[in-house]
Amino acid sequence: MAEDILLTEDKDGVVVLTLNRPGVMNAFNFALLRALAAARRMSLARASSVPPPRAIPLTAAMTGLFKSSMVVNRLRMVKMNALT
């Protein structure tokens, strides 16, 4: 069974989203972007409930591990492929 790449936890009305890809320094990829989009949809749906979440912070599974270059390089490749 694959490990969840995005963990969600409700802590007293605060929905905490945790990036869970420590092996690649929590770099974004398309699967993580899809998971974040799904979590956003879920949070927006919950916002219409009573009471709505007070905050939705984004954290990482391992402190100090974050790398943005993967998503930038991937998006650059997608853009280049769209142009050809």
Q: DSSP characters for 9-36?
A: EEETTEEEEEE--GGGTT---HHHHHHH
Higher pLDDT, 18 or 2: 18
Does the pLDDT value for residue 2 go beyond 70?
no
Domain ranges of the chain: 6-83
Residue 55, C-beta contacts closer than 8 angstroms, at least 6 positions apart? 14, 15
User: Whole-structure pTM over 0.75, yes or no?
Assistant: no
pLDDT 10s digits, 36-67: 989 888 877 877 777 777 888 888 887 665 66
- The answer to whether the CB of 17 falls within 8 A of the CB of 56 is yes
Predicted pLDDT at 1 = 37
| Gap between the Cα atoms of 75 and 77, Å rounded | 5
Does the pLDDT value for residue 30 go beyond 90?
no
Q: Which CATH code fits 6-83? A: 3.30.300.220
